[in-house]
Structure 1
Amino acid sequence: MSPTPPTTPAPFTKTPGWLDWYANPSRPAFTLPPGTVDAHCHVFGPGARFPYAPERKYTPCDAGRDELFALRDHLGVSRNVIVQATCHGADNSAMLDAVAASQGRARGVATVRPDVTDAELRRLDDAGVRGIRFNFLKRLVDAAPKDALAALAKRIAPLGWHVVVYFEAADLAELADFFTSLPVPPVVDHMGRPDVTDSPDGPEFTRFLRFVDRGEVWVKVSCPERLSVSGPAALDGERHPYTDVVPFARRVVEEFPESVLWGTDWPHPNLTDHMPDDGLLVDQVPRVAVTAAQQHRLLVANPMRLYWPGEQL
């Protein structure tokens, strides 16, 4: 990775306290299997070319396709799934540009408005988009978009797409029936943001697991840096941070080996206390997927089936 620090050109001024991505990630000790997919990452701008949305809740640093692809190669990742960042609203230009530049090594997850045309959905499909994302985090959206999501889910079903949903664990009780009623698979960001100070056998996380068990639900075992309370300190070895998240992720992988995904969440939006070393995030993988078979499903087979179905590595 280049040590050049990220910048945000005028007229965009970063949100106060915004943490830039880790410019010099370590080399992972764990060797990712060939064909590994980073199934959750983003691009920000660059703002001079892809302006940030006027309605955005934050202004990030620039973190474009070149930096993402440099990280991909540094970590040993083969492919990316680039998820539309909320700072770009429903203008998917930066994400689509990165997917196009990947030469087939990336897919996209878009944000679309309820009035999106069928022609635009077909254009996005041709460009490599395979899903749409809806955010249910109350600090990032003004209202839960149930009606819009239900209508859009019916329209994307013929394309074979899915919906990526982001919510807080405490809100699942009021959302679970709605998600499982959709005619397309839900893909849950970051294990539904469990409270890792609780037990992975406790009622809240057990409710989440039973929700996953009800239907065709995919789960990203991602973002330990966002979920952890213990934080980046190495508690059981110098390359083992975020220890408190491991039992939750491991339980998901063990119970649902055919429907788990992994991603870096680069460039890690909205973190306020520290910025993770992406090399250490790779080294979390064998702690949550402990066998070679689990690792291959998590990193290769599952994301290929969801985003590149029928394609041979």
Structure 2
Amino acid sequence: MSATPARIAGPVALSRRPRVAPPPGAVDAHAHIFGPEARFPFAEGRGYTPPDAPVEAYLALLDRLGLARGVLVQGNAHGFDNAVLLDALERAPDRLRAIAITDGRLAPEALRDWHRLGVRGLRFHEHAPDARPGYVQGVGLEVLARFRPVMRELGWVVQVFCHHRRLPAIAAELAAIAREMPVVLDHMLMVPAARGIADPGFQALLRLVGEGAAHVKLSAPYRLSAGFPDHADARPFHAALLAANPDRLLWGTDWPHTSIPAATMPDDGGLLDLFTDWTPRAEDRARILVETPARLFW
């Protein structure tokens, strides 16, 4: 692995405005910020080098899309140094919340200080045994034990980036965690669309969501899809989750869309349009964009 991974493509410079304005109070529940690198250096051992995508650019994107607030998720390019998130929370406390990533070196009591700033959860990565990345990518759920009592007390979210083949093995563990604090799974489990909704991992996800034991983000359909720019092959996954339990769904841009080639870089206004088209009932859009993120993060 190169000591300095190649720089990846950045997001669309100016997203188009959505055709239908989101409801008042709408939240982008999944985005990342990076840098500026001169102030917030990228981590050694990372898998990619992003261009700067600072909080000012993200707030401008929220304004352009008509979104009131956003939830920032620690990006792997910054490793376990959450300084970029904490700085953003201090600068826009009314608009931003955050999900951090940390390892066992942090004292659990430190979470209380983070909570006062606006952190509302920790993110964990669960890989299939034969699909582990060749670089540092977060920590697994085994680290949760160290932080679980304080997270439970604070009402924090356990956010999980999970390989679809890994979920059946840990579904019962996630259901147990969800009896203490909310569990949120990323990006519709990133099941390759060609596998279809009968995929065992996706079926395990549907059961968790349908039973109210997990939330899931209807984000990044392009990470499932082979059909740029409309991603029609990802729509059945969205539809199945919507039918299973609209009260356990969130939506996010996944800005700035790390590791996506420039030629297939999604437009965030287009992603919001897809969400609107694929979620035809206004009451469901209000639940997903406003009510559920407000409950979990505000």
Q: Same fold (TM over 0.5)?
A: yes
Whether 2:267 is the aligned partner of 1:264: answer: no
1:21 to 11, 18, 28: 11
- Judging changes above 3 Å, is the alpha-carbon distance between structure 1 residues 62 and 142 closer, same or farther for their aligned structure 2 residues? closer
Whether 2:156 is the aligned partner of 1:161: answer: yes
- Judging changes above 3 Å, is the alpha-carbon distance between structure 1 residues 141 and 153 closer, same or farther for their aligned structure 2 residues? farther
The answer for the alignment partner of 2:65 in structure 1 is 75
Q: Match of 2:294, as an amino acid?
A: M
**Superposition map of 1:219-258 within 5 A:** 219-232=216-229, 241-258=230-247
Tell me the matched-pair count.
Answer: 288
| Helix, strand or coil at the partner of 1:164 | strand
| Helix, strand or coil at the partner of 1:118 | coil
Whether 2:121 is the aligned partner of 1:93: answer: no
Contact 1:153 1:163 in 2 (8 A): no
| Helix, strand or coil at the partner of 1:258 | helix
Determine what percentage of the aligned residue pairs are the same residue: 38
Q: CA RMSD in A?
A: 2.0
Contact 1:135 1:141 in 2 (8 A): no
Can you list the C-alpha shifts for 1:96-125, whole angstroms capped at 9, x where unaligned?
A: 111221141110111122232233111100
Q: Which moved more, 1:279-288 or 1:190-199?
A: 190-199
State how far apart, in whole Å, the 2-side matches of 1:209 and 1:69 are. 33
The answer for the alignment partner of 1:186 in structure 2 is 183
Which runs of no fewer than 5 residues in structure 2 stay unpaired? none
Q: Match of 1:181, as an amino acid?
A: A
Whether 2:297 is the aligned partner of 1:277: answer: no
State how far apart, in whole Å, the 2-side matches of 1:151 and 1:305 are. 25
The answer for the alignment partner of 1:294 in structure 2 is 284
Can you list the C-alpha shifts for 1:140-167, whole angstroms capped at 9, x where unaligned?
A: 5579623212332233111110111001
State how far apart, in whole Å, the 2-side matches of 1:221 and 1:229 are. 17
Q: CA deviation at 1:215?
A: 4.5
State how far apart, in whole Å, the 2-side matches of 1:225 and 1:206 are. 20
Question: What TM-score do the two structures reach when normalised by structure 2?
Answer: 0.90
Contact 2:165 2:200 in 1 (8 A): no
| Helix, strand or coil at the partner of 2:194 | coil
- Hey, which of these two has a bigger chunk of helix by percent? 2
The answer for the alignment partner of 2:29 in structure 1 is 39
Contact 1:180 1:214 in 2 (8 A): no
Q: Which moved more, 1:21-30 or 1:194-203?
A: 194-203
Q: CA deviation at 1:14?
A: 7.4
The answer for the alignment partner of 1:59 in structure 2 is 49
Whether 2:130 is the aligned partner of 1:151: answer: no
1:120 to 110, 123, 136: 110
Contact 1:35 1:78 in 2 (8 A): yes
Q: Which moved more, 1:269-278 or 1:140-149?
A: 140-149
1:209 to 206, 210, 213: 206
State how far apart, in whole Å, the 1-side matches of 2:4 and 2:273 are. 30
- Judging changes above 3 Å, is the alpha-carbon distance between structure 1 residues 104 and 143 closer, same or farther for their aligned structure 2 residues? closer
Can you list the C-alpha shifts for 1:32-59, whole angstroms capped at 9, x where unaligned?
A: 1111000000100110111111232221
Question: What TM-score do the two structures reach when normalised by structure 1?
Answer: 0.86
Q: Match of 1:131, as an amino acid?
A: G
State how far apart, in whole Å, the 2-side matches of 1:181 and 1:198 are. 28
Contact 1:14 1:60 in 2 (8 A): no
State how far apart, in whole Å, the 2-side matches of 1:227 and 1:207 are. 17
Q: Match of 1:305, as an amino acid?
A: R
